[in-house]
Amino acid sequence: MKEQKSYSPTSSELEILQILWKRGPCYVKEIHELLSESKEVVYTTTLKTMQVMHERGLLSREAQGRRHLYQAAIAEDDAQNVLLDKFVQKTFEGSALKLVMKALGNYKTSQGDLDELKKYIESIEKDKS
What's the pLDDT at 6?
54
What's the pLDDT at 71?
98
Q: Which pTM was predicted?
A: 0.78
Q: Which of these, 5, 89, 41, 107, lies nearest to 16 by C-alpha position?
A: 41
What's the pLDDT at 1?
39
Phi-psi region of 63 (alpha: psi -120 to 50; beta: other; left: phi over 0): beta
Length of the chain (residues): 129
Strand order in the sheet with 59-64: 26-27, 67-72, 59-64
What's the pLDDT at 108?
87
Which stretches of the chain drop beneath a pLDDT of 50? Answer: 1-5
What's the pLDDT at 120?
92
Domain range list for the chain: 11-76, 95-129
What's the pLDDT at 3?
45
The domain over range 11-76 is classified in CATH as 3.40.50.1370: no
Neighbouring residues of 16: CB distance < 8 A, sequence distance ≥ 6: 31, 35, 46, 49, 50, 53, 59
Contact 19, 26 (CB under 8 A): yes
What's the pLDDT at 4?
42
Q: Which amino acid is present at 70? A: Y
pLDDT in tens, 50-59: 999 999 999 9
